[in-house]
């Protein structure tokens, strides 16, 4: 049954991400160096961490990336993450809302976020469900409206996850009609297009910009590999295990995708962001904010106190690095001219 399958999948994803190593073997953010300023240009406590995204003000340039919903356990994670987003004034996305659109019994695991005062809440639906060829599952305006209303969202992430779909035995690989459908949705809603760990190229960034999305979340290769995640799922055919391993490192490294996808839209740097230095590295490559998924899931699994302490430290690190870069605010970071070395520099040649 399709609903049971979705619930199992969401539960599997959390469990696998917490129990197995599903990170890319090389984190390309380590190749990004921001030049140090021995004499910063303002006092540390004068650094302004606030940013605006989709017209909403965040207290710090951090997004809790879309992860979950669709099971009891997922609902508990969404509640922990929502509480943190509210306490620290961060943006938050929920995981794909397909499960709740298809079965109302899963609504609560998403709508729990509406109980918190969060500056920017983003719904989530996938490109395969928005593709015309996908019979019976072809979402449009009505479904997006329902997804947004379900959680009191200000906009919606449309995720691009074809790497994950191709390695799943039950993967949904329809894409025809997606861009036309997206274009129509962008006329009615604030849409952010996001990848889920394989990055967005310059060509695709332009296609998405032309379709009318308001921002791009690069979701590059460097952190969670959904190909790796799928390789750990039980699969009678053995295909996911094999193919998931083969394609584990597929994708555009996150910092490279930042450079390619910088097409004049607000950019979100994500895929492998582990700490405040990585957040600042993303800012130095033109991001308005950075998205974190796996790292925060791990902290949340230890309870709210651990999650809150980690976010507090990450924010302090972002402030410190902005200060040490001679910048006074997020926007100044765009002028810091980071140096890209190693494998990432090779890739960019």
Ligand X SMILES: Cc1cc2nc3c(=O)[nH]c(=O)nc-3n(C[C@H](O)[C@H](O)[C@H](O)COP(=O)(O)O)c2cc1C
Interaction between residue 281 and ligand X (CB under 6 A) = no
- Name the residue nearer to ligand X (CB basis): 112 or 327: 112
Interaction between residue 68 and ligand X (CB under 6 A) = yes
Taking the complex as a whole, the smallest distance from the CB of residue 273 to ligand X amounts, in Å, to 5
Per DSSP, the chain holds a count of helices (H) and strands (E) of 16, 12
Find residue 56's DSSP bridge partners.
53
Interaction between residue 231 and ligand X (CB under 6 A) = no
Q: Residue 292, SS3?
A: strand
Taking the complex as a whole, the smallest distance from the CB of residue 332 to ligand X amounts, in Å, to 25
Q: Which stretch binds ligand X (CB under 6 A): 35-43, 127-135, 183-191, 289-297?
A: 289-297
Taking the complex as a whole, the smallest distance from the CB of residue 270 to ligand X amounts, in Å, to 5
Q: Residue 116, SS3?
A: coil
| Binding track, positions 69-108, relative to ligand X; x by CB under 6 A | --------------------------xx------------
Residues in region 259-278 near ligand X by CB under 6 A: 270-273
- Name the residue nearer to ligand X (CB basis): 157 or 323: 157
The residue to which tokens 């861009």 are assigned: 179
Cβ–Cβ < 8 Å for 76, 112:
no
Q: Any long-range contacts for 72-75 (C-beta under 8 Å, 24+ apart)?
A: 72/109, 73/11, 73/14, 74/10, 74/11, 74/14, 74/109, 75/108, 75/109, 75/110, 75/112
Taking the complex as a whole, the smallest distance from the CB of residue 227 to ligand X amounts, in Å, to 12
Taking the complex as a whole, the smallest distance from the CB of residue 73 to ligand X amounts, in Å, to 11
Residues in region 17-56 near ligand X by CB under 6 A: 17
Interaction between residue 65 and ligand X (CB under 6 A) = yes
3-state secondary structure string across 6-54: HHHHHHHHHHHHHHCCCECCCCHHHHEECCCCCCCCCCHHHCECCEEEC
Find residue 120's DSSP bridge partners.
91
Site size toward ligand X (CB under 6 A) is 27
Site residues for ligand X per CB under 6 A: 13-14, 17, 65-68, 95-96, 124, 157, 159, 194, 196-197, 219, 223-224, 270-273, 292-295, 297
């Amino acid at each position: 049954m399709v609903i049971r399958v979705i619930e199992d999948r969401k539960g599997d994803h959390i469990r696998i991400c917490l129990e197995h190593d599903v990170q890319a073997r090389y984190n390309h953010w380590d190749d990004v160096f921001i030049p140090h300023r021995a004499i910063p240009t303002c006092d540390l406590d004068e650094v302004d961490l606030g940013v605006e995204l989709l017209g909403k003000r965040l207290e710090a340039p951090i997004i809790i990336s879309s992860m979950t919903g669709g099971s009891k356990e997922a609902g508990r994670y969404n509640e922990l993450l929502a509480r943190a987003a509210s306490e620290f004034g961060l943006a938050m996305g929920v995981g794909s809302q397909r499960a709740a659109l298809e079965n109302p019994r899963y609504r609560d695991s998403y709508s729990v976020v509406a109980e918190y005062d969060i500056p920017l809440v983003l719904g989530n639906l996938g490109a395969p469900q928005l593709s015309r060829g996908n019979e019976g599952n072809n979402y449009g305006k009505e479904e997006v409206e329902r997804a947004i209303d379900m959680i009191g969202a200000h906009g919606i992430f449309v995720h691009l996850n074809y790497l994950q779909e191709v390695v799943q035995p039950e993967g949904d690989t329809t894409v025809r009609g997606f861009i036309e459908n997206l274009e129509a949705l962008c006329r009615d809603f604030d849409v952010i297009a996001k990848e889920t760990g394989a990055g967005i190229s310059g060509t695709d960034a332009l296609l998405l910009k032309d379709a009318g999305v308001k921002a791009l979340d690069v979701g590059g290769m460097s952190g969670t590999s959904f190909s790796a995640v799928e390789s750990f799922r039980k699969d009678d055919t053995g295909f996911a295990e094999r193919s998931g391993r083969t394609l584990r490192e597929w994708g555009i490294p996150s910092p490279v995708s930042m450079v390619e996808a910088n097409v004049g839209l607000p950019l979100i740097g994500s895929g492998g962001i582990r700490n405040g230095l990585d957040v600042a590295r993303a800012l130095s490559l033109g991001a308005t904010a950075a998205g974190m998924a796996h790292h925060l899931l791990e902290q949340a699994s230890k309870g709210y106190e651990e999650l809150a302490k980690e976010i507090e430290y990450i924010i302090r690190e972002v402030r410190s690095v902005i200060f040490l870069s001679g910048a006074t605010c997020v926007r100044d970071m765009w002028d810091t001219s980071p140096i890209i070395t190693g494998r990432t520099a090779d890739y960019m040649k």
